A and B are shown apart, each in its own frame.
Chain A
Amino acid sequence: MESLHSIILTLVTFLPALGGILILLIPRRDRDIKVFALVVSLFAFVASLHLPVYWHKDPNVFKYEIDTQWISSPNIHYHMGIDGISVWLIVLTTFLTPLCVLISWTSVHERVKEFFILLLLLESALIGVFTSLDLFLFYFFWEATLIPMALLIGMYGHGRRVYAAVKYFLFTMIASVFMLAAILWLYAKTGSFDFTTIQEAINSGHVPGFAVAAPWLFLGFFVAFAVKVPLFPLHTWLPDAHVEAPTAGSVLLAGVLLKMGTYGLVRFNVGLFPDEARRHAPWIIVLALIGIIYGALVSLVQPNLKKLIAYSSVSHLGFVVLGIFSFTTAGLNGAVFVMLAHGVATGGLFMLAGILYERRHTYAISDFGGLATPMPAYATFFLVTVLASVGLPLMNGFIGEFLVLSGAFQAKPVYGILAATGVIWSAGYLLWMYQRVFFGQVAHDVNKTIPDINLREKTALAPIAVAALVMGIAPLVWLSAIDPAVQSLLAPVPHLAMKAVGQ
């Protein structure tokens, strides 16, 4: 087990990519490719479970660290390590990918080989983002997620897929260049890309010219992450990308890709520039609040099921940003928890929307109605997922939002009051949508014979429902790892950490 300890992160990160490369060698028999992709993604999931299971064996802040030189000049290290925040995001990624494979089983029927190669490459890049502790390595993986996702949207998406793919690509690409500039500045002044080295250099004031450059560096990182989150008003690529993306693309996009942005905010914006982050917090919180309310209001009037879910993401991710910049233990814990809960619940909602699309080739809510009669099992899964997303107590959405709201109240009551309206809105648009799709008489005759979900789809949906419940009932399993990471993040300002309430 000891030998595994140092290579486990490498293994988890590159296992999917290796599988993707091996798919190249499989002849074009679609079934074999699907089975192989499923097996690889399940292996990756099992391997990633090693991380939380053996969590407490490692006393360091960053666990399972591996640090070897990759390139000598400039001084770039292959430095990986995870803390309580990143570990769950990795597990979330490996958890969702097999489900993506299952849900794409029949919906993808052209260029199947390429689809699963891209999916597995994307998984590797996503995990890499969460494991990297070298800024260069991080940027490397960050950019590496771009092409697979853009191709997934552009090749396998719906009507306006090309527009959506290019928009997604350009938004993220242009924004992340600002981050690159900031990273290079830090390297020029500290001679290192290493996260911990740079953090120490900044904290001890050994970075020449930092005082002047700090706001710009903060903004450089912030823009790249804010586009990914996406924070209002940089969110416009998201609805397009979601609506056009294939189901698996949407699931990973909402489930994990958006979290790259919030993760970056926590790790780099707060981790490297704690003072700047606090100075800029007010206007960022205002943007987050606008995002919460605006996203919810747009969702309320969406006639398109998938767009509704997409805008609900804007709203939910607003909670995450609010939690992060409330700078309270509760708020940050809640932010991380919302990331996970949103990944599970919204990932599930997109899978459900995809199942419906596969049967009826439409996302328009008005094309449905009374679906509970022909599809009882589907309606049950949908209800569980909607309730999780709404934030019903004992479901995962509740825990995160509650913690964020309590953190926001501590920071400034008005933040909490405004954000709390978002919870009401979300109940409104999701339950209203549920009512229009499932209740009443079957409105259209075609829907009377619509087949209920089959075993494969149940297998894909059951883990979502179980995870949503378990996370809601036993959140401490997750929070016990998250909390120490949050505490060390808040450590530079002890007066705030002390004021916060524990769980």
Chain B
Amino acid sequence: MNLGSMLHLLAAVQLPLNIVAPPLEDYLRILPELILAIFGMVVMIADPLIDEKRHHKLLGALALIGTVTALASCLVMRGHAGTAFSGMVRVDSFSVFFHILVIAIATVVILSSYEYMAVQRIRAGEYYGLILFCTVGMSLMSSAVELVLIFIALEISSISSYVLAGFRRRDAASSESSLKYFLLGSFATAFFLYGVALMFGATGSTNISVIRESLSAGRPSLLAYVAAALMFIGLGFKVASAPFHVWTPDVYEGAPAPVVGLMSTGPKAAAFAVLLRVLIDARAPGWFWMVWVSAALSMTLGNLGALVQGNVKRMLAYSSIAHAGYLLAAFAARPELGTSPAMFYTAAYAAMNVGAFAVVSHFANAGEKYVTLEDYAGLGAKSPVLAATFTFFLMSLIGIPITGGFFAKFYVLNATLRSGLVGLSIILVLNSAIGAYYYLRIIVMMYMREAREDVPATTVPVAAGLAIAACVLATLYLGVVPSRVLNLTSTSAAEIAGSGNPSVASAAK
């Protein structure tokens, strides 16, 4: 590609060539990302300067301060709604919602890693740095409204998580996990990029709002359909939905447990945010049956796979595939009905799944020795609090009342039924019933089997305890007073889906 065509392309992408410094307000609109990135770098720089004995605690605390500050800065960002950097970033309640969500996930994951790192004898510096960089990517994914920037954000978060997956490097499974995730993940992002390129070809822009105008102006070209499908493949991989899910069990099994807590919720939530931007905000054509089939497959394959697992991490991996399916079911509903439940689901799922993995990572002990179902036998008698909280998360994953998981599933079902998707609703309902069985197996193990002598009783250390408590509270909060979060998601959904667009819904069918 010669320079001339390059410039031409840049002009078409509407990047200003005569670069002027963006106003200060623009920086406030990416304040959380800036803070996270700065803290990430500080952690990396401080790592060699702090002596070996204290670095786990100090660096963990530093990273924690970073995420908490970033969380607080979301309020600043919220006060500056609008677009920044020539329309590449948009701050609206949708992006604020996902910012808070992913940064909160990162905070809890850092808390649950705090003691885990020392137990597993993992060097902390890069680990916390990478979590922070990963969070930068995830946050940016939710506020980017420019396909190229979305791609860059996606890569920031993906590459960090490839490395994070391989952090237990003495363990072959962890290396396998990292490599597998990296190879397949690169493949998937290539699909996404190809989709971006084709979308640019079809509409002449990579800006979401321009694309929307162009697509809703007339009949979308074949190119736009192919572009939407390719982008869906790339994002489908990130959210681990069938048929792009095969990597999930192996990667989750090998990766360090707190990282799985992060991977299975944070990048997923961010990828769902992008999916909402691309499919619904940009009014991409022809996605209805893609989403429908993928949702049905994910639920069914995820649940059936989980039924036969003996390893709790693998079981939760399959369960996360199933939950991606429930979430996609909301996408298949009419946009004005389904968007808000989908967002609520990401939040509820994050709370319960991060919590579940916090328990798993704490219980796993050195070298992640105790991860099979049998290891959990008698946990109810040995560590009543740990078992009770795990039960609570599992109840939420099943969808039992007073938990966020219950409302999440309920809202999704409500949306699909009201959109007239009876078939998908039936599949969802049947799958919830199947799902109950394998979660129940863990509860049964913990409470109704004799404790095994060789698995030591554990007391929960402070930071992990805080992480678990935070997740319990969040799950309970979403399960008892979901109104506030629900109001937030419905205002955001209105921004994205625009209730005054019935043509989209009918076109989707």
Report whether B414 and A72 are in contact in the complex, using a CB–CB cutoff of 8 Å.
Answer: no
Interchain CA distance A72-B440 in the complex, whole Å = 32
Q: Is B413 an interface residue (CB 8 A)?
A: yes
Q: CA–CA, A173 to B483, complex, Å?
A: 26
Q: Give me the interface of A with B, judged by CB distance under 8 Å.
A: 70-74, 110-111, 113-114, 139-141, 143-144, 146-147, 150-151, 154-155, 161-162, 165-166, 169-170, 173-174, 177-178, 180-181, 184-185, 187-188
Is B380 an interface residue, CB under 8 A from the partner?
Answer: yes
B45 sits at the interface (CB 8 A): no
With contacts A184-B413, A188-B418 taken as known, whether A177 is within 8 angstroms of B432 at the C-beta atoms is: yes
Closest 7 CB pairs of A and B: A154-B448, A140-B401, A174-B433, A188-B418, A162-B448, A144-B401, A143-B401
Main secondary structure on B side of the interface with A: helix
Closest residue on chain A to residue B441 by CB atoms: A166
Contact A169 B436 (CB under 8 A): yes
Measured CB to CB, the nearest residue on chain B to A111 is B381
Additional pairs, 13, CB under 8 Å, beyond known A144-B400, A154-B444, A169-B436: A70-B483, A73-B486, A111-B384, A146-B400, A147-B391, A150-B440, A155-B448, A166-B437, A166-B440, A170-B436, A170-B437, A180-B413, A187-B414
- Provide the residues of chain A in CB contact with B444, threshold 8 Å: 154, 162, 165-166
Contact residue among A165, A173, A177, A188 (Cβ-Cβ distance under 8 Å from B414): A188
Residues in A with CB closer than 8 Å to B449 are: 162
* 16 contacts across the A-B interface (CB closer than 8 A): A71-B482, A71-B486, A73-B490, A114-B380, A114-B384, A147-B391, A154-B444, A155-B447, A162-B444, A165-B444, A166-B437, A169-B440, A170-B436, A173-B433, A177-B432, A188-B418
Q: How far is the CB of B443 from chain A (nearest CB, A)?
A: 8
The answer on a CB contact under 8 Å between B483 and A154 is no
Chain B 386-418 residues near chain A, CB threshold 8 A: 391, 395, 400-402, 406, 410-411, 413-414, 417-418
Find chain B residues with CB under 8 A from A165 CB. 444, 448
Q: Are A151 and B400 in contact (CB under 8 A)?
A: no
- The interface residues of chain B lying within 8 Å CB-to-CB of A70 are 483
* Residue B458 is within 8 A (CB to CB) of chain A in the complex: no
Minimum CB–CB distance for A398 against chain B, Å: 39
Q: How far is the CB of B381 from chain A (nearest CB, A)?
A: 7
Q: In the complex, what distance in Å separates the CA atom of A155 from the CA atom of B381?
A: 10
Residues of chain A within 8 A of B443, CB atoms compared: 151
Is B429 engaged at the interface, CB distance under 8 Å to the other chain?
A: yes
Whether B448 contacts A72 by the Cβ 8 Å rule is: no
Centre residue among A111, A150, A173, A178 by max chain B CB count within 10 A: A173
Alpha-carbon separation in the docked complex, A24 to B275 (Å):
43
Given the known interface contacts A73-B486, A140-B401, A141-B401, the answer about A181 and B447 at a Cβ–Cβ threshold of 8 Å is: no
Q: Does B487 contact A (CB under 8 A)?
A: yes
Q: Would you give the shortest CB distance from B434 to chain A, in whole angstroms? A: 9
Q: Which residue of A lies closest to B436 (CB)?
A: A173
With both beta carbons as reference points, the residue of chain B lying nearest to A125 in the complex is identified as B401
Flag if A154 contacts B447 (CB, 8 Å).
yes
| Contact yes or no, B380 A161, CB < 8 A | no
Report B-chain residues with C-beta under 8 Å of the C-beta of A185.
417
Which residue of chain B has its CB nearest to the CB of A185?
Answer: B417
Bound-state CA distance A151–B448 (Å) is 8
For A180, the chain B residues whose CB sits under 8 A away are 410, 413, 429
Interface size on B, residues (CB 8 A): 33
B425 sits at the interface (CB 8 A): yes
Residues of A within 8 A of B486 (CB): 71-73
Known A-B contacts A74-B411, A154-B447; A177 and B490 likewise in contact (beta carbons under 8 Å)? no
Interface residues as binary, B422-450 with A (CB distance below 8 Å gives 1, 0 otherwise): 00011001001100110010011001110
Contacts of B429 in A (CB 8 A): 177-178, 180-181
- Residues from chain A with Cβ under 8 Å of B391 in the complex: 147
Q: How far is the CB of A329 from chain B (nearest CB, A)?
A: 35
Q: How far is the CA of A180 from the CA of B428 in the complex (A)?
A: 12
Shortest Cβ distance from residue A176 to the other chain B in the assembled complex, whole angstroms = 10
Report whether A181 and B448 are in contact in the complex, using a CB–CB cutoff of 8 Å: no
- Nearest Cβ on chain B to A196's Cβ, whole angstroms: 21
A320–B413 Cα gap in the complex (Å)? 33
Per the bound structure, the CA–CA distance linking A167 and B413 in Å amounts to: 25
Bound-state Cα–Cα, A155 to B445, Å: 10
Contacts of A181 in B (CB 8 A): 413, 417, 425-426, 429
Cβ distance B60 to chain A, nearest Cβ, rounded Å: 30
**A161 contacts B381, C-beta separation under 8 Å:** no
Contacting residues, chain A, for B410 (C-beta < 8 A): 180
Q: How far is the CA of A404 from the CA of B384 in the complex (A)?
A: 48
In the complex, which residues of chain B have a beta carbon less than 8 angstroms from the beta carbon of A114? 380, 384
Q: How far is the CA of A187 from the CA of B410 in the complex (A)?
A: 12
Q: Note all chain B residues with C-beta closer than 8 A to A74.
A: 411, 414
Partner of A147, one of B395, B413, B417, B437: B395
Q: Which residue of A lies closest to B480 (CB)?
A: A70
Roughly how many angstroms separate A320 CA and B380 CA in the complex, as a whole number?
Answer: 39
Q: Bound state CA distance, A200 and B466, in angstroms?
A: 49
| Known pairs A173-B436, A184-B414; A111 contacts B380 (CB<8 A) | yes
The smallest beta-carbon distance between B439 and chain A, in angstroms, is 11
Chain B residues in 8 Å Cβ range of A141: 401
**A161 partner residues in chain B, CB cutoff 8 A:** 448
Contact residues in A for B395 (Cβ distance below 8 Å):
147
User: Could you tell me the distance in whole angstroms from the C-beta of A346 to the nearest C-beta in chain B?
Assistant: 26
CA distance A146 to B391 in the complex (A): 13
Q: How far is the CA of A166 from the CA of B447 in the complex (A)?
A: 12
Name, among A110, A161, A181, the residue most crowded by chain B CB atoms within 10 Å (CB to CB). A181
Taken together as a complex, chains A and B put the C-alpha atoms of A141 and B400 apart, in Å, by 10
Complexed CA–CA distance, A165 and B445 (Å): 12
Residues of the A chain whose Cβ atoms lie less than 8 Å from the Cβ of B402: 140, 144
Q: Measured between C-beta atoms, what is the minimum distance from B428 to chain A in Å?
A: 10
Q: Out of B406, B433, B487, name the residue touching A177 (CB < 8 Å).
A: B433
Name the B residues within 8 Å of A154 (CB-CB): 444, 447-448
CB distance from B33 to the nearest CB of A (A): 32
Distance between B87 CB and nearest chain A CB, rounded to angstroms: 32
Contacts of A187 in B (CB 8 A): 414
Contacts of A162 in B (CB 8 A): 444, 448-449
Q: Which residues of B contact A155 (CB under 8 A)?
A: 380, 447-448
Which chain B residues lie closer than 8 Å to A113 at the CB level? 384
**How many angstroms between the C-alpha atoms of A144 and B401 in the bound complex?**
6
